[in-house]
Amino acid sequence: MRIGVNARLLYSDRLEGIPRYIYETTVRMALQHPEHRFILFYDRKYTETLTFPPNVQQVIIPLPTRHPVLWFIWFEILLPIWLRWYKIDVFYSGDGYMSLISSVPTVMVSHDLAYLHYPGHLPLTQLWYGRFFYPKFHKKARHIIAVSESTRSDIIDSFGIPASRISVGYNAVPESLMTADHIDQQNVRDKYTDGKAYFIYMGAIHPRKNIPNLIKAFQIFRQRTGLDYRLVLAGRMAWFTDEVEKMIALDTGIIHTGFVDHRIKAELLAGAEAMVYVSLFEGFGIPIIEAMAAGVPVITSSVSSMSEVAGEAALLADPSSPGSVADAMVRLRSDHSLRQSLINAGKIRCRQFDWNTTAELIFEKLLSAHSQN
């Protein structure tokens, strides 16, 4: 079987949520099924630091997709030509985009429908593209992989897709984070926060991530406790970040690191008092389980998928209320037995999410899509 893979987001080794999902699942499918050929289609020159098994071939379709118009050209004009040329039997698209014109059966991953719930949080061109194409993508895909039960239910309710056409394939964490709790916490604090204890947020920064309310909660925490803590924001500035940048500039207790690689991520997690991830909406919420893997207690939102991912291993707060988030921060700081119980529960919880399991689910659906064609 010749399996095409949408590898547009794998051009860099700076892998955030969606490209990480695509990379981890693709590599594992290729390793577990060496008798099949995987052809990865890129839209630009790609890094050679990401490694793949020998049954993986990498191909560039030369049109960098930096705008919705270019997305359309790449998926609806160029990609179908390359799929025919390379005799692709089935296509795996892990970023929620696919070709509506191509007849090649597609298994597509749907990460979230945030554009429906928070339309004002996206640039207008992306919002327009999503409103027009995402329902069509979901209806045409031979099978859909949702990254959580919450996302699966959202797809069913929003698009009327039969439940039988949607499976849940969770995200997971790298093994390297499982040993991060052995890193010396004080050494990390000396290195990054002048020895101060700190809370951490990890991920890209844009409106849906709710960083202004997180900062307000942190300021309330300091006022209530009188403690000289720091708040570390570890992630790139994505879009609509003016308010966050102004708040950072006015508060010397906030440290913005920019994007961090996995080595630095492990250090920053190991040194943290807690992960505070109080997004307004998530399809999954990878930093929740990353922190758990690193032995760090978690405060997260009580909405969308985050409570599902956290289970009983995190404190839940109302993301719309800085006071609610601050209450959780104060409680976690003052109750050491609670802190340790969350760490222990988190270590167990994060191991319930496994890349091999997700990769095998996707491969089974690709095989089924091919056999039905």
Q: 227 and 344: one domain?
A: yes
Residue 273 and residue 199 in contact, taking contact as beta carbons nearer than 8 Å: yes
Q: What is the pLDDT along the chain (373 residues), one digit of tens a residue?
A: 999 999 999 999 888 889 999 999 999 999 999 999 999 999 999 998 999 999 999 999 999 998 999 999 999 999 999 999 999 999 999 999 999 999 999 999 999 999 999 999 999 998 999 999 999 999 999 999 999 999 999 999 999 999 999 999 999 998 778 777 788 999 999 999 999 999 999 999 999 999 999 999 999 999 999 999 999 999 999 999 999 999 999 999 999 999 998 889 999 999 999 999 999 999 999 999 999 999 999 999 999 999 999 999 999 999 999 999 999 999 999 999 999 999 999 999 999 999 999 999 999 999 999 988 7
Residue 98 and residue 91 in contact, taking contact as beta carbons nearer than 8 Å: yes
Q: 194 and 339: one domain?
A: yes
Residue 121 and residue 240 in contact, taking contact as beta carbons nearer than 8 Å: yes
Please count the structural domains in the chain.
Answer: 2
> What is the rounded CA–CA span in Å between residue 200 and residue 135?
35
Q: 143 and 197: one domain?
A: no
Residue 341 and residue 311 in contact, taking contact as beta carbons nearer than 8 Å: no
Q: 112 and 196: one domain?
A: no
Q: 154 and 190: one domain?
A: no
Helices of type H across 59-140 = 68-73, 79-85, 114-117, 124-140
> Which tokens in the block code for residue 134?
């995402």
DSSP3 helix / strand / coil % (the chain, rounded to 5): 50, 15, 35
Q: 161 and 208: one domain?
A: no
What CATH number corresponds to the domain at position 201? 3.40.50.2000
Q: 118 and 257: one domain?
A: no
In the Cβ-directed half-sphere of 50, how many Cα atoms lie within 13 Å?
22
Which residues lie below 8 Å from residue 293, measured CB to CB, with a gap of 6+? 173, 177, 178, 180, 346, 347, 350
pLDDT at 177: 82
Q: 39 and 101: one domain?
A: yes
Q: 359 and 249: one domain?
A: no
pLDDT per residue as tens digits for the range 233-255: 999 999 999 999 999 999 999 99
Q: How many CB atoms lie within 10 A of CB 94?
A: 28
Q: 157 and 204: one domain?
A: no
> What is the rounded CA–CA span in Å between residue 45 and residue 10?
10
> Which tokens in the block code for residue 260?
């961090």
Q: Which residue has the tokens 């040194």?
A: 271
Domain that holds residue 15: 2-172+354-372
The amino acid sitting at 10 is L
Residue 84 and residue 4 in contact, taking contact as beta carbons nearer than 8 Å: no
Residue 271 and residue 189 in contact, taking contact as beta carbons nearer than 8 Å: yes
Q: 318 and 335: one domain?
A: yes
SS3 258: coil
> What is the rounded CA–CA span in Å between residue 32 and residue 357?
11
Q: 105 and 202: one domain?
A: no
Question: Which of 3, 63, 64 is CA-nearest to residue 37?
Answer: 3
The amino acid sitting at 17 is G
